[in-house]
Amino acid sequence: MARWSAPTAAAVATVLGASLLYMALVASAQPPLPGNVQVISMNGKRNSKFTCTDTRKNSKRPGCTATCPNRCPKKCLVLCPTCKTFCLCDFYPGVSCGDPRFTGADGNNFYFHGKKDQDFCILSDAGLHINAHFIGKRNPAMSRDFTWIQALGIRFAHHHLYVGAARTVRWDAAADHLSLSLDDEAVPLPAFTGARWSPPTAPALSVTRTAQANTVVVELRGVFRIMANVVPITAEDSRVHGYGVTDDDSLAHLDLGFKFYDLTDDVHGVLGQTYRTDYVNRLNVTAKMPVMGGADNFVSSGLFETDCAVARFGRGSTATASAAAGAGNGIAMVTDAKYL
C-alpha cells in the first residue's frame, strides 16, 4: 500500500470524508458540498477547470486552478484552497466507473474487463445476487474488448429487478435513458427530481430520482443501496482512449455506487469477494491498471441466472437465505419486520 506524506494524508482524509458526503448528498438529493470541497463535472471536456480561492479571514494565500486527472471518468473532487484533486473512484467502496473499474471494500481499485455481450456475477450472497451485463467495443489493436456495464440484474427473495441504460444512438442529456423494471413490469417513475416509487409486493424496495433524468438511487432497506447514473461515451472519451465509437451508438452505460448491509462472510463475486473477512488482495495494487482476472469464475448464462461458479444465492440456513430461495410465502425477505 502506498504511503503518503503527512500533509497529503491529511488532505486524503479530508477528501475521503467529503467524497462519502458527496455520494450521500447525491443519493438524498440534498444541497451541495461544503465550500472547501468542490466538484468538477467535466461534461465531456477533459480540460475542465475550477479556480479555488482561499476564503478564510485574513488569508493572503493566492487562488489556484485545478484540473481533473484524466483517470477520473466524469467528475472529480477539488480540495480548496490547495487545489488537490481526487477521483470519487479512489475512495468510495463499491464504486464502478467507466471501463469497469471497481473500488473494493478494502479500498483498493481494480479493473475487471469481462467480455462484451456477456453477464458476470458482481455479488452473490445467500439472499442477494447481482449480475452485470457488459457491452463493449473491440479495438483490433488489442487482445480484449473495451467494456462497460450496461445493466444490472438483481435477485432477492423471488423478485427480479432490472436497472439498465437504454441503447441510444445520439445522446441527449435532457432525455431519460434509464430502463427500470421489477418482475418484468416497467417501474412507473415520474420524471422529476425526488420522485419515488415503492411496490406493494416489496415495500422495503424503493427507487428515487436524484435528477430529472438518468440518475436514481435504488434501495432495499437493510440490504443494499445502489446509485446508478446513465452516461455516454463522448467523442472526447473515444478520442483520448481510442474506443472507436461510431455515430450509430453512444454506448450509454451505468456508473454505479454500491452500499451493502448485512452481507454474510460467504459472499462472493467480482466485487462481493472484497467484503469477506478472509479476502486477500493478490492484485498488484501499485500497477497503473490492476486487473482482476478469473472471468470464468464469474460468468453467468443470463442476466438473472445464478449459475456462476461462485454463486451463493439461496444457499445457507439463515432465514434470509431461505426466503431468497423461495421458502414459505416467498416474500419473507421483504415483508419481515426487519425490512419494514
Domain map of the chain by residue range? 6-90, 95-339
Q: Are strands 205-209 and 215-220 parallel, antiparallel or unpaired?
A: antiparallel
pLDDT at residue 92 greater than cutoff 70? no
Higher-scoring residue by pLDDT: 127, 239: 127
> What backbone phi and psi angles, to 5 degrees, belong to 159?
-95, 155
Rounded Cα distance between 248 and 96, Å, is 25
Rounded Cα distance between 110 and 101, Å, is 6
For residues 144 and 113, the answer to whether their CB atoms sit within 8 Å is yes
pLDDT at 62: 61
H/E segment holding residue 101: strand 101-103
| Single-letter residue type at 156 | F
Nearest-5° Cα angle at 12, 6 to 13: 90
Grade residue 107 by pLDDT with cuts at 50, 70 and 90: confident
Q: What is the torsional sign of CA 170, 209, 127, 182?
A: negative
Q: Calculate the alpha carbon distances from 157 to 220, 301, 332 in Å.
A: 11, 20, 7
pLDDT at 38: 67
For residues 149 and 136, the answer to whether their CB atoms sit within 8 Å is no
pLDDT at residue 339 greater than cutoff 50? no
Q: What is the torsional sign of CA 198, 202, 204, 208?
A: negative
pLDDT at 169: 87
> What backbone phi and psi angles, to 5 degrees, belong to 224?
-155, 165
User: Is residue 164 helix, strand or coil?
Assistant: strand
For residues 65 and 48, the answer to whether their CB atoms sit within 8 Å is no
Given phi > 0 = left and psi -120 to 50 = alpha, else beta, which region is 107? left
pTM tops 0.75: no
User: Is residue 27 helix, strand or coil?
Assistant: helix
Query: Residue 291 carries which DSSP code?
Result: B
Lowest mean pLDDT among 96-105, 164-173, 222-231, 301-310: 96-105
For residues 260 and 104, the answer to whether their CB atoms sit within 8 Å is no
> What backbone phi and psi angles, to 5 degrees, belong to 192?
-150, 150
Residue with cell 447514473: 229
pLDDT at 145: 76
Grade residue 119 by pLDDT with cuts at 50, 70 and 90: very high
Residues in the chain: 340
Residue/partner pairs of 313-318 with CB below 8 Å, 24 or more apart: 313/124, 313/125, 313/126, 313/127, 313/128, 313/129, 313/155, 314/126, 315/126, 315/266, 316/126, 316/264, 316/266, 318/126, 318/127, 318/264
Lowest mean pLDDT among 82-96, 202-216, 247-261, 281-295: 82-96
Nearest-5° Cα angle at 150, 107 to 246: 115
Question: What does the mean pLDDT of the chain come to?
Answer: 75
Mean pLDDT highest for which of 56-65, 159-168, 284-293?
A: 159-168
